[in-house]
Structure 1
Amino acid sequence: MSYTLFYAPGAASMAVHWMLIELDVPFKTVLVDIDNNQQRNQDYLRLNPSGRVPTLVVDDVPYGESVALMMMLADRHPGSNLLPEPNTAQRAEWLQLTLYIANTLMPAMRDWLYAAKDGDPGGAAAVKALAEKRISATWDDFEKRLRGGQPYLMGTTFGTVDMLAIMLMRWSRHMTCAATARPVLRKYIDHVCERPSYRDLNEREGLSGWPD
């Protein structure tokens, strides 16, 4: 099997990149310069008609959508321990939490980041304010999970939901609802970001300055 990840540093591709590192499988990366709209050129659009990152080419077939890619990778690498086993109560909880992140938190993040670009610039402030309320509500839910002392969102085992959550918490760093401003979440962030795979990811993508 072969993997080629088309990515942009710190973007929605970050969690997929991190998962490939955690899986310790061979893969190639191709940088997409989204600042110069490289994701809109015809070569890239042939791979991903939505013009977004990531794209993961699996055995010469391109696929998109971060959460879907992570679920596909988990299926292709059973025994990775990055998600609960099928037909268990934890698997049902994992699916619920994963879709909650994908359907609630990720859209709110996009609304905040692209409020002026995707919609009327005159209404951007109101869109961002509503997005921050939705993001803060998600942080509340995450804190409830972590207040009992468990190290990860799903309990004692690190997994895909943590990679998604940390990526999105990083996106909040310039918001008034920054995840690092909450002590419970900051403790979680500091713990997860000590993983060698996260440090490797940051080095590969040239990222720094968070969560410091």
Structure 2
Amino acid sequence: MYTLFYAPGAASLAVHAALHEVDAPHDLVKVDLQVQRTEDYLRLNPQGTVPTLVIDGLAHRESAALLLLLAERHPQADLAPPPGAPGRAEWLQWSVALATSLGGPYRLWFYPQDLGLPEHSEQTRAPVQRILEAAFERIESHLVAHGPYLLGERFSTADYQLCMYMRWSRAMPKPATEWPALDRLARLVVARPAWRNAVAMEGLRGWHLDGLS
């Protein structure tokens, strides 16, 4: 049994979808990111962030790491190439690369306080936007040559990770779906029953069941 501490649409979304994908029993505990975390939650996750996944009484963090862990614990779900198989190194590479090239810049986009700013201006947001768009441009080039998924014809947890980050761009000046190959990947991912179950349970709007609006 798993317990996932999540916030709707946050970095926990990909992990939530993966839990449905592996068909693992799990409990959900909603965390309000707009209020100060309780001492009980900070004992589980000193950063006060989501996701936190409790497994056998132990708390584990970081969405990329949790996706890797779920794929390892549930090989029957075929969410990653097995050790030694073709594509295994690429799966690990993408899982880490997405967390750094998209996860880090998104943190600066949504939390200007990390830059010592009370809020973003057009001038301070612009360089972060360029970093994110450059990352999406690189991924688009890869998908054009090797798609439709990050591992070619094979779906993996990395695609959930990427689709989660793409969803975060929906209100940006250039949403990720404006790149055709990225748009194709997103439409394939949001059609999966596990993704649909997760977004429905989280009550999300936008990128819901019948499209990406």
Q: TM-score, normalised by structure 2?
A: 0.91
1: CA distance between counterparts of 2:85 and 2:188? 27
Stretch deviating more after TM superposition (117-126 or 47-56):
117-126
Number of the residue aligned with 1:34: 33
1:123 Cα offset (Å): 6.2
Number of the residue aligned with 2:47: 50
Stretches of structure 2 that go unaligned for 5 or more consecutive residues are: none
Equivalence map 1:130-145=2 (5 Å) = 130-145=127-142
Equivalence map 1:148-159=2 (5 Å) = 148=145, 150-159=147-156
- Is residue 209 of structure 1 aligned with residue 206 of structure 2? yes
2: CA distance between counterparts of 1:105 and 1:53? 16
The count of residues paired between Structure 1 and Structure 2 equals 209
1:10 Cα offset (Å): 0.2
Query: Per-residue CA shift, 1:177-208, capped at 9, x if unaligned?
Result: 31122233222212221111111111100012
Q: 1:192 aligns with which of 177, 189, 192?
A: 189
Stretch deviating more after TM superposition (178-187 or 131-140):
178-187
Number of the residue aligned with 1:183: 180
SS of 1:18's equivalent?
helix
Number of the residue aligned with 1:128: 125
1: CA distance between counterparts of 2:15 and 2:62? 10
2: CA distance between counterparts of 1:118 and 1:54? 23
Would you tell me which structure has more helix in proportion to its own residues? 1
Number of the residue aligned with 2:95: 98
Q: TM-score, normalised by structure 1?
A: 0.91
- Is residue 172 of structure 1 aligned with residue 206 of structure 2? no
RMSD: 1.8
Q: 1:75 aligns with which of 65, 72, 75?
A: 72
Decide whether the 8 Å contact of 1:135 with 1:177 is kept in 2.
Answer: no
Stretches of structure 1 that go unaligned for 5 or more consecutive residues are: none
Stretch deviating more after TM superposition (4-13 or 128-137):
128-137
